Amino acid sequence: MRPIQMVDLKEQYLHIKDEVDAAIHQVLDTTAFIGGKAVQDFTSNLAAFTGARHVIPCANGTDALQIAMMALGLQPGDEVITPSFTYIATTEVVALLKLKPVFVEVDPQTFCIDPVAIEQAITPRTKAIVPVHLYGQSAPMEAILDIARRHDLYVIEDNAQAIGATYTFSDGTVKQTGTMGTIGTTSFFPSKNLGCYGDGGAIFTDDDALADKLRMIANHGQKVRYYHEVVGCNSRLDTIQAAILDVKLKRLNDYIAARQQVAAAYNQAFAGHPAITTPKVTEGNAHVYHQYTLQLEGVDRDGLQQYLAARSIPSMIYYPVPAHRQRMFTDLGAGGEDLPVTDWLTQRVISLPIHTEMLPEHIELITSGVLSYIEHTKPQS
C-alpha cells in the first residue's frame, strides 16, 4: 500500500501525467513562458467554472489579497476585520499595507468568521471585511454581505481553501465562494484543492472598473506598456502553471467529490463519539474539504499525534498560534484581542489526511488509529 500522506500530489500527477506532460511541452515548444495562450485559456475557463465575471491571474494567494486591498484604495490606518483563526497570509497583507487588522472570533462549529463579532468590531475607520472560507466551507455570506451593505464596507473573500465550494442564499440563489463579495482571492499552491506545480493565484470580481484596476496593479501599475499610472507590483501566473491548472480544472468537480467521500467515511467512523466533534456543514453549503478537521474533547492531542505518527499516519494542527497572538502583530501594537473561542479551537483541532487519491485502507487505518488511541488512553482532566 502507498504510504499515507496529508496530500498525495505524486499519485494524483501519475493519473493525469500524459495530459499534464503534453500541456507543459506545448508551452516549452512555444517558449511563451509569460503571458502565453494557456493563461488566457485557463482564466476564461475558471471564470466559466466559478461564474465570476472577471478572473485576474496572479503569482500566489497572498499577492491576490494584497492586490485586492491595493485596488480598493485602502489607506494606512483603515481597519480591516478578519478572523484570527486563519492562515497568516490573510492578515499579513493587512499589516504590510499599513492597514489595521481587527481580529474577531469564528463560529466554534464551522471555524468561519462570526457575523455577530464582525458587527461588534465595526468602527468609523472600518473599511473592509475579509471572511475566510476556512478548510473548504463558505463563511455565512448572506449575513456578512448584509452587514457590509449597511455599513458601506468592502468584502474580500479569502477563497484560498475553498475553490468550488458553494453557498445558498435564503432566496435559493446558489453561488460559488470567491464570487459573492466585492473581490474574491484564491491560491493555486500545490496542496490547495486546485493546485499547480509551483506558485499561483487568482482574483475574482464582477466589477468591470475594479477588474481593470486589479489587472493594472498586478502589472506594475500599467495598462499601456511603459506608462505607469499607479504604484503596482509584479504578480503573474506563468504559462506552464496555467497549462497545468487547465488540465486539473477539468477534474476539479471529481476531485471535490473524492474529498467529500473521504470526509463522509470519516464522519461515519467518528459519528457520536463523545471525545470527537466532526466538522459541521451549514445547510445549503457544499464543503470541499481542503482540510478535514476534528475537535477533540479531553484527548491528549500531542499523544494522539505521536501515536498516529508511530503508525506512519501524518496529522496537522491548523493553526497552532492564531494571528492575534503572533509576534508580527503584537510587536506592532495590533492583536492582543480577547478571543476565547479562537484560543479554545487552537487547542482542540486536529486535521487528518484528506486528498483525491486516498484508498479505503488508508481511511480504515486512520480512523482505527484515532479511535484506538482515544479508547486506550484516559481522558485528561
Ligand X SMILES: *Cc1c(COP(=O)(O)O)cnc(C)c1O
Buried-state track 283-302, b at ≥16 Cβ within 10 A, e below 16: eebbbbbbbbbbbbeebbbe
How would you classify the pairing of strands 222-224 and 227-228?
A: antiparallel
Q: Which CB, 315 or 365, lies closer to ligand X? A: 315
Contact 67, 221 (CB under 8 A): no
What minimum distance in Å lies between the beta carbon of 63 and ligand X? 7
160 binds ligand X (CB under 6 A): yes
68 binds ligand X (CB under 6 A): no
The stretch near ligand X (CB under 6 A) out of 60-68, 122-130, 333-341, 354-362 is 60-68
238 binds ligand X (CB under 6 A): no
Q: Within positions 172 to 191, which residues make up the interface with ligand X, using CB under 6 A?
A: 187, 189
67 binds ligand X (CB under 6 A): no
What minimum distance in Å lies between the beta carbon of 160 and ligand X? 3
CA angle 355, 262, 246 (to 5 degrees): 40
Q: Which CB, 118 or 276, lies closer to ligand X? A: 118
193 binds ligand X (CB under 6 A): no
Buried-state track 326-349, b at ≥16 Cβ within 10 A, e below 16: beebeeeebbebebebbbebbebb
**Among the listed residues 12, 43, 60, 182, the single contact to ligand X using CB under 6 A:** 60
Measured from each CB, the residue nearest to ligand X is 61
Burial of residue 186 (CB within 10 Å: 0-12, 13-18, 19+) is: buried
4 binds ligand X (CB under 6 A): no
Beta strands, E only, 209-336? 222-224, 227-228, 276-277, 292-296
Contact 132, 114 (CB under 8 A): no
Cell 501594537 found at: 333
Binding-residue pattern over the window 119 to 158 for ligand X, x denoting contact by CB under 6 A: -------------x-------------------------x
In a 3-state reduction of DSSP, which class is residue 104?
strand
**Among the listed residues 62, 177, 239, 241, the single contact to ligand X using CB under 6 A:** 62
Catalog residues that contact ligand X under the rule CB under 6 A: 60-62, 86-87, 89-90, 132, 158, 160-161, 187, 189, 199, 201
